[in-house]
């Protein structure tokens, strides 16, 4: 393998450094109108009346819509989200009415002319409070919603959008065997994805009833499918384009502003309508990562074996759980971490509140539950007087282990043990501080500590998730590769070009991955989420290449008068194995072979390949047993930090991140995924959080919501890759897009304890939080 | 409405604009120079950075009227045809971008900064780009690209 | 939509007259605060008066009277002006930590003061150094910075008046200044607290504070210099002079503790430096 494993620059590099890459933000169309929305100032309020008459009269206004006029609901797993609030608003920031006008300024003025009469009703903000029998209901008609049955379990008449149960062994018997029981609560607030390009969509609803959309989305086919279901229109009448996308991180999975602009277009004489979310709307109106309250009870023997674990996860889904229910599910089946525990009981509740609603966010469910689990593991080790490394090593999954959903781990599943070993070694785990270092700490008030944390994640997706790829020859023997997953910078298109080039035995420069994503032109792919695109797209591309090679050999065997089995490819030639001088070039067969006399055979060759998830099952509703995971990527972080005890500031000196990726396909891009993901994890660890006052979001600008800047990076980020081949992965690879940010908070939290002896139970570990934790210790 | 003459990337444009329009809006909507991005509109993210008389500024915080009489350079003005500037080349060499949305602003900040401080320390580089938020790269490849570029310029005195 | 007028006078009196006669007019210099306020419609000016056309606002000078900073001088221009780092290190620190590099290329020092945010980074050190403003009214008159701040985002300018520049007195030989800012992250952030100090053995100890009161605060402690427990008494006096709030950036309690820590640190660092 020459290409696989090397470092190939992103194929779209020049477009991106010159500003030529066109994003949805940049698109302007003939006759285009601009949309603005009116949002609810209340977290929970009945909408008594909406008067749009003055807005409609403003010159330049083409359409004004309210929820009453477009009674559609959308949702990926739980169809609970109206396009515009209907009857009541469920969060402050929820769209209540929308305007399309000839300029953005007129649309904004028109929005101000809309009068809404609200009647505030009792809100609920805390997911645990929301479980109480007398809690206000966020969705009174939960029982009438459609959702993916057999996978999610809503409890009508309550705020529970879904309740997932995992039962393995018998926790009562397990706790009976325990020498110690450790019980703790952990918390994570909501956070934002912060793509630099805010959500943006353009739609034109044609007079022929067909809808065309251009959108900053991760998944063109999911947009098409969900819009089709919501509006009751055949997907064949919907065409979705996805140009360059300025960051997604899960926040642009599923469907967002597309239905709104589509409806506005229909109401506005079928003119194209564009909306660009302001940064404030990105924070306050578009979805977030869910918050989590966790309660964990762990039983351990004095030898350090975990014998029982009982967990309750309370997800703050916010006002809608259309995607959120699957986070509660993923957080459940992965909810005990990569550990071998005989007796486990997990209850994961996705709970409606009157906060901004949740959605997928890079590694969804996992960063959250692993904050709780990996802190809990350290605390358990300390209570036993054991080294947290040794404690983990006694309990981690290994070949022969059975996961909490009943899956058997084998030699090729990947090794979390190897990841932890590598991370611990590189960070210098267990190396005591020297006398000088201790003296220095005393003098400066800056103390150092190290922390470890492990992680795992599998793609969280439906059992029948599919992906297809097409390879088309061009005249000169170069190839266009068509896939409809979206490359929003992670580099999958480049990697897929490498996969195609490797399989086709030709230079990667001769594979063009087509960037104009278009559901009318491209083969199907479910969604670009869950670290699944390289795995599934890679497999589809390999199959497409094999299909193409087979067709090339068909033609060549006739021309060369040799059996297909005796043909081989290489160097852009199809040749006879034992007589390589007898060959055809790719170019000769690309569009059909022509004999010297003019006869032609073959034809323009197109390879097609598809891949569908293999062997996945729904989970048993009562026990959660089944196969949810197509592949598990394991990892571990080792981190060294310095805490200024005077201020509570955390400085990350070094973070080592090891992942069992199966096979590194593109070294440079794989490392970049790690570096970028680690910093995003660091943001969740030390500075990012949603803050509300009485349900009104306070952190809705970059002034109030801080993300890490170039000055906040760790001194060193050190990626390590373990390669235990995934037998059904492309060249043995697994996904690693989300994993780098998972468990970064827990590793840092563990390092805080290591440095100071103080346990932190809530992120973000802001200077203030760390400072008072230290101060209150005394 | 006001008539102004704006000089962008060496070209002069006669424009009739609303006085409340920002430089960013005029660049993107009137001149269709969409390489300059809007990430927040409040001077916090740096995606809209352009050069004004060689100095990096947030074009969302400048009224187009204020820009009259000044030389504006946007990302579109950096490459000479297909010949990229050395900063752009360094960005490719180090793959200092992922989604690419912050990249034009990032490059313009670095252009302005290096023209002012050709020999920065790593801390100074990190400080200079702290007003350009990037959510993808973790900044490390960007800083590496600038450090490498500074070294190369120092070695062959080359500055394009 | 109310139309906006943009005027760029070249003469101070002309600017004053325009402002005087247009209650809806606002001065723009750097515009880095004004543009944000206009965007979120917390202000809706009818007219923008760009004072960058006035030559006098571009003066940046250091002489026997001290440092003169014209109203159009940007944070980066001032920071990179040679004498600033040498004679006004506290101001240099404050400018270095002010917003971002791009913002500093537009934002002006005078604008930072006129915006009158309690968190204005340059205010604590300029208060501690005894800066005074040149105010353009019917004529130019001078006002101590200390009397300028009247509340959160409120200054004492009368209708039509604008600040043409400010003077920071020349430091005494051996005078030291310093500024520490505590934010939530290391990158650009508004301060949780900002503490500036000015010290000279000849009898000057001044502490300027940001983000701990409705206005930037000056604490004069010249009288403490000969006391044995100077630092403790200084901290006590400082804490008695502040009344911080809890907001999204920090709690009142954290602000108090950080004020204590940084005041102590400022005093310690200044005296250590002065003794070298």
| Tens of pLDDT, residues C193-240 | 999 999 998 899 999 999 999 999 999 999 999 999 999 999 999 999
- The pLDDT of residue A116 is 98
ipTM of predicted assembly, 2 dp:
0.98
Q: Is A227's pLDDT higher than 60?
A: yes
- Please give, rounded to a whole number of angstroms, the shortest distance from the CA of C98 to a CA of chain B: 11
Model confidence over C114-159: pLDDT tens digits?
999 999 999 999 999 999 999 999 999 999 999 999 999 999 999 9
What are B's interface residues with C at a Cβ cutoff of 8 A? 2, 18-20, 22, 41-44, 46, 49, 52, 55-58, 60-63, 65-66, 109, 112-113, 127-131
What is the C-alpha end-to-end distance of chain C, expressed in Å? Answer: 62
Q: Contacts of residue B83 in chain A, CB cutoff 8 Å? A: none
Q: Contacts of residue A710 in chain C, CB cutoff 8 Å? A: 187
Eight-state DSSP code of residue A60: T
Q: Contacts of residue B72 in chain C, CB cutoff 8 Å? A: none
Model confidence over A311-328: pLDDT tens digits?
999 999 999 999 999 999
- Please, what sign has the CA dihedral across residues A340, A345, A350, A351? negative
- The pLDDT of residue C276 is 59
Q: Is A778's pLDDT higher than 80?
A: no
Q: Is B135's pLDDT higher than 90?
A: yes
- Please give, rounded to a whole number of angstroms, the shortest distance from the CA of A430 to a CA of chain B: 28
User: Cβ contacts of residue A450 below 8 Å, gap of 6+?
Assistant: A427, A428, A429, A638, A639, A640, A641, A751, A754
Q: Is C2's pLDDT higher than 70?
A: no
- Please give, rounded to a whole number of angstroms, the shortest distance from the CA of B156 to a CA of chain C: 28
Rounded to 10 degrees, the C-alpha dihedral A301/A304/A310/A313 comes to 160
- Please give, rounded to a whole number of angstroms, the shortest distance from the CA of B80 to a CA of chain A: 11
Looking at chain A, the whole-number percentage of residues with pLDDT higher than 70 is: 100
- ∠ CA A477-A478-A484, nearest 5°, is 135
Mark yes or no for CB contact A701/B40 under 8 Å: yes
Would you place residue C17 in the very low, low, confident or very high pLDDT band (cuts 50, 70, 90)?
very high
Q: Contacts of residue C192 in chain A, CB cutoff 8 Å? A: 768
Model confidence over B109-125: pLDDT tens digits?
999 999 999 999 999 99
- B interface mutation test: which of C3, C30, C73, C105 has the most B CBs within 10 A? C105
User: Under a CB-based contact definition with an 8 Å cutoff, are residues C183 and C190 in contact?
Assistant: yes
Model confidence over A391-404: pLDDT tens digits?
999 999 999 999 99
Q: Contacts of residue A691 in chain C, CB cutoff 8 Å? A: 248
- ∠ CA B99-B103-B104, nearest 5°, is 135
Q: Contacts of residue A711 in chain C, CB cutoff 8 Å? A: 185-187
* C-alpha closest to that of A535 among A737, A675, A719, A359: A737
* C-alpha closest to that of A77 among A152, A139, A154: A152
Model confidence over A651-693: pLDDT tens digits?
999 999 999 999 999 999 999 999 999 999 999 999 999 999 9
Distance CA A651, CA C101 (A): 22
Distance CA C124, CA C219 (A): 10
Q: Which CATH class is domain A291-461+618-777?
A: alpha beta
Q: Is B159's pLDDT higher than 60?
A: no
Model confidence over A164-174: pLDDT tens digits?
999 999 999 99
Q: Contacts of residue A34 in chain B, CB cutoff 8 Å? A: none
User: Under a CB-based contact definition with an 8 Å cutoff, are residues A21 and B100 in contact?
Assistant: yes
Mark yes or no for CB contact B100/A703 under 8 Å: no
Q: Is A292's pLDDT higher than 80?
A: yes
Longest Cα separation, chain B: 51
* C-alpha closest to that of A665 among A772, A539, A766: A539
- ∠ CA A343-A347-A350, nearest 5°, is 155
Q: Is B93's pLDDT higher than 80?
A: yes
Q: Is A629's pLDDT higher than 70?
A: yes
Distance CA B144, CA B151 (A): 11
Mark yes or no for CB contact A710/B143 under 8 Å: yes
Q: What is the mean pLDDT of residues A591-619?
A: 97
Mark yes or no for CB contact A702/B95 under 8 Å: no
Please tell me which residue of chain A has the smallest CA distance to C249: A704
Please give the full DSSP string across A343-406, using - where no structure is assigned. -EEEEEEEEE-SSPPB---SSTTHHHHHHHHHHHHHHHHHHHT--HHHHHHHHB--TT-B-TTS
Q: Is A705's pLDDT higher than 70?
A: yes
SS (H, E, C) C19-71: HHHCCCEEEECCCCCHHHHHHCCCCCCCEEEEHHHCHHHHCEEEECCEEEEEC
Please tell me which residue of chain A has the smallest CA distance to C188: A709
Pairing of β A633-644 and β A649-660: antiparallel
- The pLDDT of residue C275 is 74
The domain segmentation of chain C, as residue ranges, is 5-53, 55-169, 176-275
Q: Which CATH class is domain B86-156?
A: mainly alpha
- The pLDDT of residue C274 is 75
User: Under a CB-based contact definition with an 8 Å cutoff, are residues B13 and B5 in contact?
Assistant: yes
Q: Name the percent of chain C in helix, strand, coil, to the closest 5.
A: 35, 25, 40
Query: H or E element: which one contains A771?
Result: helix A767-777
Please tell me which residue of chain B has the smallest CA distance to C38: B20
Q: What is the mean pLDDT of residues A732-748?
A: 98
- Please give, rounded to a whole number of angstroms, the shortest distance from the CA of C33 to a CA of chain B: 8
Put simply, the chain B residues between 65 and 124 with a CB less than 8 A from any chain A CB are 74-76, 78-79, 84, 88, 91-93, 95, 97-104, 107
- The pLDDT of residue B160 is 56
CATH 3.30.365.10 domain locations along chain A: 291-461+618-777, 466-612
Longest Cα separation, chain A: 95
Please give the full DSSP string across A517-542, using - where no structure is assigned. EETTTSPPB--S-TT-IIIIIHHHHH
Is B47 in the A-facing interface, judged by CB distances under 8 Å? yes
Please tell me which residue of chain C has the smallest CA distance to B126: C187
Distance CA C119, CA C211 (A): 5
- A interface mutation test: which of B84, B98, B105 has the most A CBs within 10 A? B98
Q: Contacts of residue C106 in chain B, CB cutoff 8 Å? A: 57-58, 61-62
Say how far residue B86 (Cα) sits from the centre of its chain: 14
What is the C-alpha end-to-end distance of chain B, expressed in Å? Answer: 39
Please tell me which residue of chain B has the smallest CA distance to A195: B135
Model confidence over C87-110: pLDDT tens digits?
999 999 999 999 999 999 999 999
Which candidate from B43, B65, B112 shows the least CB-CB separation from C103? B43
Is C189 in the B-facing interface, judged by CB distances under 8 Å? no
* C-alpha closest to that of A497 among A519, A518, A517, A480: A480
Fold type of domain C55-169: 3.30.465
Q: Which CATH architecture has domain A13-121+199-276?
A: Alpha-Beta Complex (3.90)
Which candidate from A10, A18, A702 shows the least CB-CB separation from B45? A702
Q: What is the mean pLDDT of residues A572-595?
A: 98
Chains in contact with chain C (at least 3 beta-carbon pairs closer than 8 A): A, B
Distance CA C59, CA A378 (A): 61
- Sheet containing C176-182: order of strands: C176-182, C193-200, C204-210, C217-220
- The pLDDT of residue A39 is 98
- ∠ CA B102-B105-B106, nearest 5°, is 75
SS (H, E, C) A560-615: HCCCHHHEEEECCEEEECCEEEEEEEHHHHHCCEECCCCCEECCCCEEEEEEECCC
Distance CA A401, CA A515 (A): 43
| Residue A743, SS3 per DSSP | coil
Q: What is the mean pLDDT of residues B21-47?
A: 98
For residue A264, count CB atoms less than 10 angstroms from its CB and return exposed for 0-12, middle for 13-18, buried for 19 or more.
buried
Please tell me which residue of chain C has the smallest CA distance to A712: C186
- The CATH H-level superfamily of B2-76 is Beta-grasp domain (3.10.20.30)
Mark yes or no for CB contact C6/B65 under 8 Å: yes
Would you place residue C3 in the very low, low, confident or very high pLDDT band (cuts 50, 70, 90)?
confident
- B interface mutation test: which of A17, A655, A671, A718 has the most B CBs within 10 A? A17
Which letter, b or e, does each residue of C113-146 get, where b requires 16 or more Cβ atoms within 10 Å of its Cβ? bbbbbbbbbbbbbbbbbbbbbbbbeeeeeebebb
- Please give, rounded to a whole number of angstroms, the shortest distance from the CA of C28 to a CA of chain B: 9
Name which residue leads in pLDDT, C3 or C245: C245
| Residue A204, SS3 per DSSP | strand
- The CATH number of C176-275 is which of 1.10.30.50, 3.30.390.50, 3.40.50.970, 3.20.20.370? 3.30.390.50
Please tell me which residue of chain C has the smallest CA distance to B105: C102
| Residue C131, SS3 per DSSP | coil
Mark yes or no for CB contact C187/A771 under 8 Å: no
User: Under a CB-based contact definition with an 8 Å cutoff, are residues A447 and A643 in contact?
Assistant: yes
Mark yes or no for CB contact C188/A771 under 8 Å: no
Q: Is A329's pLDDT higher than 70?
A: yes
| Residue A326, SS3 per DSSP | helix
* C-alpha closest to that of A490 among A233, A738, A706, A133: A738
Mean pLDDT of chain C: 96
Model confidence over A34-69: pLDDT tens digits?
999 999 999 999 999 999 999 999 999 999 999 999
Mark yes or no for CB contact B61/C36 under 8 Å: yes
Distances (CA, A) of C56 to A611, C10, C185: 71, 9, 37
| Residue B17, SS3 per DSSP | strand
Which candidate from B2, B52, B113 shows the least CB-CB separation from C101? B113
Distance CA A632, CA A337 (A): 12
- B interface mutation test: which of A14, A16, A191, A719 has the most B CBs within 10 A? A16
- The pLDDT of residue B157 is 57
Q: Contacts of residue B22 in chain C, CB cutoff 8 Å? A: 35
User: Under a CB-based contact definition with an 8 Å cutoff, are residues B57 and B16 in contact?
Assistant: no
The answer to whether domain A466-612 has CATH 3.40.630.30 is no
Chains in contact with chain B (at least 3 beta-carbon pairs closer than 8 A): A, C
Q: Contacts of residue A767 in chain C, CB cutoff 8 Å? A: 182, 184
The domain segmentation of chain B, as residue ranges, is 2-76, 86-156
- The pLDDT of residue B156 is 66
User: Cβ contacts of residue B30 below 8 Å, gap of 6+?
Assistant: B13, B15, B17
CATH 3.90.1170.50 domain locations along chain A: 13-121+199-276
- Please provide the CATH number assigned to the domain covering C5-53: 3.30.43.10
Query: H or E element: which one contains A467?
Result: strand A466-473
Which candidate from C182, C248, C261 shows the least CB-CB separation from A704? C248
Distances (CA, A) of A453 to A420, A430, C252: 8, 15, 34
- ∠ CA A668-A474-A552, nearest 5°, is 95
Q: Contacts of residue B143 in chain C, CB cutoff 8 Å? A: none
- The pLDDT of residue B19 is 97
């Amino acid at each position: 393998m020459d290409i696989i494993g090397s470092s190939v620059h992103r194929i779209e590099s020049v477009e991106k450094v010159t500003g030529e890459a066109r994003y949805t933000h940049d698109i302007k169309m003939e006759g285009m109108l601009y949309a603005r929305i009116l949002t609810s100032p209340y977290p929970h309020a009945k909408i008594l009346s909406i008067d749009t008459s003055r807005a409609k009269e403003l010159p330049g206004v083409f359409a004004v819509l309210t929820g009453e006029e477009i009674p559609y609901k959308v949702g990926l797993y739980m169809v609970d989200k109206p396009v515009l609030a209907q009857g009541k608003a469920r969060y402050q920031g929820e769209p209540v009415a929308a305007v399309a006008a000839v300029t953005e300024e007129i649309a904004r003025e028109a929005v101000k002319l809309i009068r809404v009469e609200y009647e505030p009703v009792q809100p609920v903000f805390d997911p645990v409070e929301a479980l109480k029998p007398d809690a206000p209901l966020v969705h009174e008609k939960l029982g009438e919603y459609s959702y993916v049955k057999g996978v999610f379990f809503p409890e009508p008449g309550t705020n529970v959008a879904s309740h997932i149960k995992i039962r393995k062994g018998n926790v009562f018997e397990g706790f009976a065997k325990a020498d110690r029981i450790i019980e703790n609560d952990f918390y994570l607030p909501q956070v934002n994805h912060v793509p630099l390009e805010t959500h943006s969509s353009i739609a034109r609803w044609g007079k022929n009833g067909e809808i065309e959309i251009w959108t900053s989305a991760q998944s063109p086919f999911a947009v098409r499918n969900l819009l089709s279901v919501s509006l009751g229109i055949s997907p064949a009448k919907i065409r979705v384009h996805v140009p360059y996308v300025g960051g997604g991180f899960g926040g642009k999975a599923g469907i967002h502003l597309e239905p709104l602009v589509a409806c506005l277009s229909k109401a506005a004489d079928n003119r194209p309508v564009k909306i660009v979310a302001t940064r404030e709307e990105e924070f306050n109106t578009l979805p977030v990562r869910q918050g989590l309250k966790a309660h964990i009870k762990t039983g351990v023997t004095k030898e350090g074996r975990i014998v029982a674990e009982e967990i309750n996860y309370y997800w703050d889904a916010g006002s809608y759980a259309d995607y959120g229910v699957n986070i509660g599910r993923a957080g459940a089946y992965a909810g005990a971490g990569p550990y071998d525990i005989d007796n486990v009981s997990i209850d994961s509740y996705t709970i409606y509140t009157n906060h901004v609603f949740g959605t997928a966010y890079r590694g969804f469910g996992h960063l959250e539950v692993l904050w709780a689990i990996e802190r809990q593991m350290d605390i358990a080790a300390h209570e036993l007087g054991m080294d947290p490394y040794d404690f983990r090593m006694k309990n981690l999954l290994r070949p022969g282990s059975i996961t909490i959903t009943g899956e058997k781990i084998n030699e090729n599943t990947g090794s979390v043990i190897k990841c932890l070993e590598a991370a611990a070694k590189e960070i210098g785990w267990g190396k005591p501080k020297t006398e000088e270092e201790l003296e220095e700490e005393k003098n400066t008030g800056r103390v150092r500590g190290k922390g470890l944390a492990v992680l795992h994640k599998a793609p969280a997706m439906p059992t029948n998730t599919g992906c297809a790829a097409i390879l088309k020859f061009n005249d000169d023997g170069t190839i266009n590769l068509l896939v409809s997953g979206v490359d929003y910078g992670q580099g999958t298109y480049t990697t897929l070009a490498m996969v195609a080039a490797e399989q086709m035995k030709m230079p990667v420069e001769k594979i063009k991955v087509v960037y104009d994503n278009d559901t009318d032109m491209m083969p199907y792919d479910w969604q670009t989420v869950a670290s699944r695109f390289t795995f599934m797209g890679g497999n589809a591309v390999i199959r497409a290449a094999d299909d193409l090679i087979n067709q090339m050999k068909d033609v060549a065997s006739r021309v060369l008068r040799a059996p297909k089995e005796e043909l081989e490819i290489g160097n852009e030639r199809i040749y006879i194995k034992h007589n390589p001088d007898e060959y055809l070039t790719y170019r000769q067969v690309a569009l059909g072979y022509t004999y010297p006399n003019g006869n032609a055979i073959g034809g323009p060759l197109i390879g097609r390949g598809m891949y569908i998830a293999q062997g996945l099952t729904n989970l048993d509703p009562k026990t959660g047993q089944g196969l949810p995971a197509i592949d598990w990527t394991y990892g571990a972080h080792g981190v060294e930090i310095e805490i200024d005890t005077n201020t509570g500031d955390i400085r990350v000196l070094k973070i080592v991140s090891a992942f069992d990726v199966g096979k590194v396909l593109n070294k440079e891009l794989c490392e970049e995924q790690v570096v970028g993901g680690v910093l995003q994890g660091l943001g969740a660890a030390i500075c990012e959080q949603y803050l509300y006052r009485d349900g009104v979001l306070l952190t809705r600008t970059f002034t109030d919501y801080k993300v890490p800047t170039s000055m906040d990076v760790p001194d060193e980020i050190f990626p390590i890759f373990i390669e235990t081949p995934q037998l059904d992965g492309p060249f043995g690879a697994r996904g690693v897009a989300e994993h780098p940010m998972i468990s970064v908070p827990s590793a840092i939290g563990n390092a805080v304890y290591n440095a100071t002896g103080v346990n932190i139970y809530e992120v973000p570990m802001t200077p203030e939080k760390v400072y008072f934790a230290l101060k209150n210790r005394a | 409405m006001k008539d102004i003459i704006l000089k962008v990337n060496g070209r002069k444009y006669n424009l009739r604009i609303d006085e409340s329009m920002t430089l960013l809006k005029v660049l993107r909507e009137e001149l269709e120079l969409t390489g300059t991005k809007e990430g927040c509109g409040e001077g916090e993210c740096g995606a809209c950075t352009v050069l004004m008389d060689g100095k990096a500024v947030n074009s969302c915080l400048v009224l187009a009227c204020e820009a009259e009489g000044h030389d504006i350079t946007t990302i579109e003005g950096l490459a000479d045809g297909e010949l990229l500037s050395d900063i752009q080349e360094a960005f490719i060499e180090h793959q200092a971008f992922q989604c690419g949305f912050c990249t034009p602003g990032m490059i313009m900040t670095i252009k302005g900064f290096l023209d002012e401080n050709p020999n920065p320390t790593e801390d100074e580089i990190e400080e200079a780009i702290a007003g350009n938020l990037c959510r993808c790269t973790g900044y490390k490849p960007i800083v590496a690209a600038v450090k490498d570029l500074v070294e190369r310029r120092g070695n062959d005195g080359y500055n394009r | 939509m109310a139309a906006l007028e943009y005027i760029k006078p070249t003469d101070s009196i002309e600017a004053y007259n325009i402002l005087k006669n247009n209650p809806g007019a606002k001065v723009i210099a750097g515009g880095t605060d004004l543009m944000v306020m206009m965007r979120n419609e917390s202000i809706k000016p009818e007219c923008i008066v760009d004072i960058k056309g006035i030559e006098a606002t571009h003066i940046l000078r250091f002489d026997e009277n001290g440092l003169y900073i014209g109203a159009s001088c940007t944070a980066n221009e001032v920071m990179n002006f040679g004498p600033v780092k040498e004679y006004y290190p506290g101001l240099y620190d404050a400018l270095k930590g002010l917003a971002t590099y791009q913002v500093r290329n537009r934002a002006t020092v005078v604008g930072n003061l006129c915006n009158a945010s309690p968190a204005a980074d340059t205010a604590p050190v300029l208060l501690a150094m005894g800066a005074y403003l040149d105010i353009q009214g019917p004529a130019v008159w001078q006002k101590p910075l200390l009397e300028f701040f009247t509340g959160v985002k409120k200054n004492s300018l009368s209708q039509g008046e604008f600040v043409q520049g400010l003077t920071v007195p020349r430091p005494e030989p051996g005078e030291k200044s310093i500024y520490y800012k505590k934010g939530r992250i290391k990158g650009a952030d508004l301060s949780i607290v900002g503490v500036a100090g000015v010290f000279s053995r000849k009898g000057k100890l001044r502490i300027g504070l940001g983000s701990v009161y409705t206005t930037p605060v000056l604490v004069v402690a010249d009288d403490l210099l000969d006391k044995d427990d100077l630092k403790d008494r200084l901290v006590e006096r400082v804490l008695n002079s502040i009344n911080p709030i809890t907001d999204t950036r920090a709690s009142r309690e954290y602000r108090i503790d950080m004020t204590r820590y940084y005041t102590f640190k400022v005093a310690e660092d200044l005296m250590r430096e002065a003794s070298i």
